[in-house]
A and B are shown apart, each in its own frame.
Chain A
Amino acid sequence: MTRTISLGLRAALWLVMSLCIWGAFFYAWSDPAFIGQSSRILFFHVPMAWTSFVAYFAAAVWSGRYLWGGRQPRHDRAAAAAVECGVLFGVLATVTGALWARIEWGAFWNWDPRQTSIVVVLLFYGAYLALRSAMADREIRARISSVYALIALVVTPFFYFIVPRITDSLHPEPVINAERKLDVDPRMFQVLIASALTYTILFFWIHNLRARTQALADAREDDPS
């Protein structure tokens, strides 16, 4: 019974994501302010960037749970898995952004504040992963990584939401602009929201698989037989 529900939920995820892809190309309008159909990358690029932020936020929550919730290794594994997923989605957002920039601005990389800020965050979490891999003792690694992920939560929103708004940028206005008004066509907004939600669910699925894989690896390390 549980297996049937689980498969049904996954099938629903496949269907909703497929509908989002369909909506991105055939339901939402192409914004005439952009070259050709390039505005449609919005429905993939923005949810990827959003999901990377959700992942970093989730990593901080699990790190907090590790530090103040009984120092359970599963919380540390969950935090590390969230950072890995966040980096993955962050890289995808950077790549899709660069592809769009090539069409719209004529170059893949322009040192635009938004491009630069997401790369700074990627480097910040790359350092988290490097830090983890440099420590053999699991308890020390978990403790230091958790503190790092919590500090990162102070830095990340600044680079994601504040830096691009206080500097001059070529990047299109955010969906909710500086005047806090929704500045997007309703059809585009519907597909964007659906896509962002679906990517978030996809993140939690991939995260679950990664954390479980790490739990198996740890168990094997503890008992090689």
Chain B
Amino acid sequence: MRERTTRRKGGFFLRTLKGQEGDTMELGGLGWIFAVNLIIWTGLFVFLLRIERRIAGLEAGGKGR
């Protein structure tokens, strides 16, 4: 008899968030910590890009944006 397999619900992103231990979308779980880390890193990245653009503007003699 063919064994019934359980498939995790959700698309690739949600399945990834659930990760290896499957309890991760609870508040404080790995999925949440990953999401918060990603948001902080993306925020820092955008901030650095904006600073770089502003410095380039000032170096070019303008006021920067």
Please tell me if the beta carbons of B33 and A25 are within 8 angstroms of each other in the complex: yes
Q: Once bound together, how far apart are the Cα atoms of A205 and B31, in whole Å?
A: 29
Q: A206-B48, A213-B55, A216-B55 in contact; A25/B30 too (CB < 8 A)?
A: yes
B40 closest partner in A (C-beta) = A21
Nearest chain A CB to B40's CB is how many angstroms away?
A: 9
Please tell me if the beta carbons of A209 and B55 are within 8 angstroms of each other in the complex: yes
Q: A205-B48, A206-B48, A212-B59 in contact; A25/B34 too (CB < 8 A)?
A: yes
Does A158 make an interface contact (CB < 8 A)?
A: no
Does A17 make an interface contact (CB < 8 A)?
A: yes
By the criterion of a CB under 8 Å from any partner CB, how many residues of chain B are at the interface?
20
Please tell me if the beta carbons of A18 and B41 are within 8 angstroms of each other in the complex: yes
Please tell me if the beta carbons of A21 and B37 are within 8 angstroms of each other in the complex: yes
Kindly list chain B residues whose C-beta atoms are within 8 Å of the C-beta of A18.
38, 41-42
**Chain B at the A interface: SS class:** helix
Q: Once bound together, how far apart are the Cα atoms of A14 and B40, in whole Å?
A: 12
Kindly list chain B residues whose C-beta atoms are within 8 Å of the C-beta of A26.
16, 19-20, 30, 34
Kindly list chain B residues whose C-beta atoms are within 8 Å of the C-beta of A212.
55, 59
Does A110 make an interface contact (CB < 8 A)?
A: no
Kindly list chain B residues whose C-beta atoms are within 8 Å of the C-beta of A209.
48, 51-52, 55
User: Nearest 7 pairs between A and B by C-beta?
Assistant: A26-B19, A25-B34, A25-B30, A21-B37, A14-B45, A212-B55, A216-B58
